Structure 1
């Protein structure tokens, strides 16, 4: 029985394929209430109906965790802490009224609902391929992330001390450094002195290089992933 349930949730043929399509439609439907500021009986029905299915899906995946993780009884302990299981749990939590009252003031409620979009990763081959790239290239991406964070903090520290009259707090400087690093440039905070502008130019130029690094890593990983899938298809 559990094996059939596992095949239904994780397979890609026959009934399992249709199950994935139905869940995909439900995930998209559950995002519709987020497109409206005010609720309505129809939107609430969609919300509760979809969440009920998501709860059943979450429990079914938990019950069959040992078949997926293959670590015996320990699988049932590990599964709730896997990335997709965390997304599944956070996406169904807003339906409980007690949490609604606690999180409404923080506007976290709608954020948790928006996480349902990430559930589509399970049912999209393209998204699964990208997820596989991140899993395989996580060390290189983590190194680039650390480099970017260090550069942001150093840039923020320099500009904060060069123009204290423009940046009231260190957080303002960090915000400016992130915007400069990504070459977005909102224009709400900007240096006014010659030294500050020189630092901004250097930061923007470095930002192009730092932002390009993860793009190259992901592109190379994606090409390798596609070649691997192509090789599998040729062999079959």
Structure 2
């Protein structure tokens, strides 16, 4: 019984229709549960949505807890102690906790639970588990983490260098070094808020050079992620093709 539950709540096979339905329902519940966050006021409909979605999340959490040994592939006693501290289990728990903030109406000592209302945004993170497209993106980030880390290091080094240069070239326009770092970050991303800007000719030259190099640095992660995403899709299609050929009879060929 637990094995059947595990096969449904976890993506074991592309051909598992029950798992696909479960993932679709959970994605729908997650999206609906986020609707009240778009409004400052609340009403009965929002309270019902919060109640129903929380109950579903609790059931999902319980099902995943009782199949933790199958997920973690370790013996039952240890798995049940380790699972609550895994990243996705923590996100699941944080998505449930805000509902219990109703207790603060009756117990002053529990007013601290009002802070858990901010944890509702973690419900969006639960979509990582149910969305295949998001899982592809996560896999891309894992595979390309070295290249992305190198680009992030380059960007941080460039920000610090630009900040040092502009802070010494035009000290009157920047109250402290943090203002220079803020300006360098804005210039690197080519956002250009205009709240802090150089006023001298040399400072403007530095700004132009910073913006030009910033465009090149910002374009790097986009290319890395796009290339990795395409490779991941090609690998998935190749795997599906091989799986289809294996399932065909020996005397059958694909045209």
Does residue 170 in structure 1 map to residue 177 in structure 2?
yes
Corresponding residue SS for 1:39: coil
Q: Which moved more, 1:82-91 or 1:24-33?
A: 82-91
1:194–1:104 CA distance, 2 compared to 1 (3 A) = farther
Q: Which moved more, 1:35-44 or 1:118-127?
A: 118-127
- Give the CA deviation at 1:9: 0.6
Partner of residue 60, structure 2: 57
Partner of residue 70, structure 2: 67
The one of 141, 144, 157 aligned to 1:150: 157
Question: Any conservation in 2 of the 1:94–1:100 contact (CA below 8 Å)?
Answer: no
What TM-score results when the alignment is normalised by the length of structure 1? 0.86
Determine the C-alpha separation between the residues in 2 that align with 1:148 and 1:32.
Answer: 36
Partner of residue 196, structure 2: 189
Does residue 35 in structure 1 map to residue 42 in structure 2?
no
Does residue 218 in structure 1 map to residue 218 in structure 2?
no
Corresponding residue SS for 2:204: helix
Determine the C-alpha separation between the residues in 2 that align with 1:172 and 1:162.
Answer: 14
- Give the CA deviation at 1:157: 2.8
Question: Any conservation in 1 of the 2:23–2:131 contact (CA below 8 Å)?
Answer: no
Determine the C-alpha separation between the residues in 2 that align with 1:173 and 1:165.
Answer: 11
Does residue 21 in structure 1 map to residue 24 in structure 2?
yes
1:96–1:192 CA distance, 2 compared to 1 (3 A) = farther
Partner of residue 93, structure 2: 89
1:140–1:2 CA distance, 2 compared to 1 (3 A) = same
Q: Which moved more, 1:131-140 or 1:93-102?
A: 93-102
The one of 131, 148, 153 aligned to 2:138: 131
Determine the C-alpha separation between the residues in 1 that align with 2:170 and 2:79.
Answer: 54
| Higher Cα radius of gyration | 2
Determine the C-alpha separation between the residues in 2 that align with 1:119 and 1:144.
Answer: 28
Task: Count the aligned residue pairs.
Answer: 233
Determine the C-alpha separation between the residues in 2 that align with 1:29 and 1:122.
Answer: 16
Show structure 2 runs of 5+ residues with no match: 245-255
Determine the C-alpha separation between the residues in 1 that align with 2:138 and 2:196.
Answer: 35
- Give the CA deviation at 1:36: 0.5
Corresponding residue SS for 2:136: helix
